[in-house]
Homo-oligomer: A and B are copies of this chain.
Amino acid sequence: MDILQVAKRARVSSATVSRVLNGSNLVRPATTERVRRAIAELNYVRNPNARSLRLGRTRLFGLIVSDIKNPFFPELIDAFEGMAAEQGIDVIFTHTNYDTTRLRSCIRRMVERGVEGIAIMTSEMDEEALHQVPVRGIATVLLNQPALRGKYRNVAVEYSEGFLEALKHLQSLGHREIGFIAGPSTFSSALRRRESWETAMKQLRLPIRPGRVVVGDMRVEGGANAMKGILAGGNRPTAVLATNDLMAIGALHAAVSAGIRIPKEMSLCGFDDLPVCGMVVPQLTTIQLPRYEIAAHAFEALLQAVRGEKQTPCAAVYPRLVIRKSTGPVAK
């Protein structure tokens, strides 16, 4: 079922069929029509391998995420894939499970598959694994890896902005004693969020007291435990921020179990804005990570690189506060 069959049926040469297929304007309308009909009649589909081989372009992007089950990623994938579809680009997709070794093999698979660009939207990173990529002229874009800025395209998340906005919101409600549920410092993103929180606290002259920062495991459980820790300590804060929504939800459970009413007796704010934030009671105030924007920037960067356009400088996205029901005026 190749181009030659079509050519024969339309009584033209394969070259003409190819021209019709590619919308060349130097084929007579009548001929075009004949070819079109032959294509339809034979139900012909062109072979992308032959095409890519000849053209040296695959129109294929790779997308690597850490963990698709983490609700942060689906929206990102959704947006990325949608934009790709619009451009006639297919996306091959893999996930690493936060495993650097798997990241390596993912990258390798993509390179072997001949992708023209790779978006590595993982929280873990391995500079070694990246080395093989740029050598082959494959465009690469990373998520929030400022350390590698300059070498690779990067979509930066300006966490501080988000925390600043959230803290201002709490401050305006009268809160001054604010706790923080951090993540393990082995997660680069957790670490960065924690630093950004501290920066924002200092900027607003809010006190960071010992025992007010508790570490959780980034999951619901961990958030619950962290909140128990906070409640156990004396001098309870009037508001608590969490590194991510899952921990905020855990904290919510723990607080409710302890008989603390949210937001009446304590305000709570998460980070990420997962869909679940609107489903818990009370609905969770949170700092929204603009996932669509991240995907859009990443895709745009790859597209520019592939097209050989000049690269716009490193993109940044700004988290935004989403006020729901879990924050309120400080109890008198």
Contact between B58 and A68, CB atoms less than 8 A apart: no
Contact between B93 and A78, CB atoms less than 8 A apart: no
Contact between A112 and B45, CB atoms less than 8 A apart: yes
| Of A5-13, A163-171, A273-281, the one with at least 4 CB within 8 A of chain B | A273-281
Q: Does A71 contact B (CB under 8 A)?
A: yes
Contact between A49 and B43, CB atoms less than 8 A apart: no
Q: Does A91 contact B (CB under 8 A)?
A: yes
How many copies of this chain are found per oligomer? 2
Q: Does A113 contact B (CB under 8 A)?
A: yes
Contact between B92 and A78, CB atoms less than 8 A apart: no
What range describes how many residues of A lie at the interface?
Answer: 35 or more
* A45 proximity list for chain B (CB < 8 A): 111-112, 136
Question: What is the minimal beta-carbon distance from A166 to any residue of chain B, in angstroms?
Answer: 21
Kindly supply a per-residue 1/0 record for chain A positions 105-133, scoring 1 wherever the CB is within 8 Å of any chain B CB and 0 otherwise: 10001011110000000000000000010
Contact between B75 and A69, CB atoms less than 8 A apart: yes
* A50 proximity list for chain B (CB < 8 A): 49, 53
Contact between A90 and B69, CB atoms less than 8 A apart: no
Contacts A47-B53, A95-B81: A279 and B281 contacting too (C-beta < 8 A)? no
Contact of A93 among B43, B92, B276 (CB under 8 A): B92
Contact of A47 among B73, B78, B114, B246 (CB under 8 A): B114
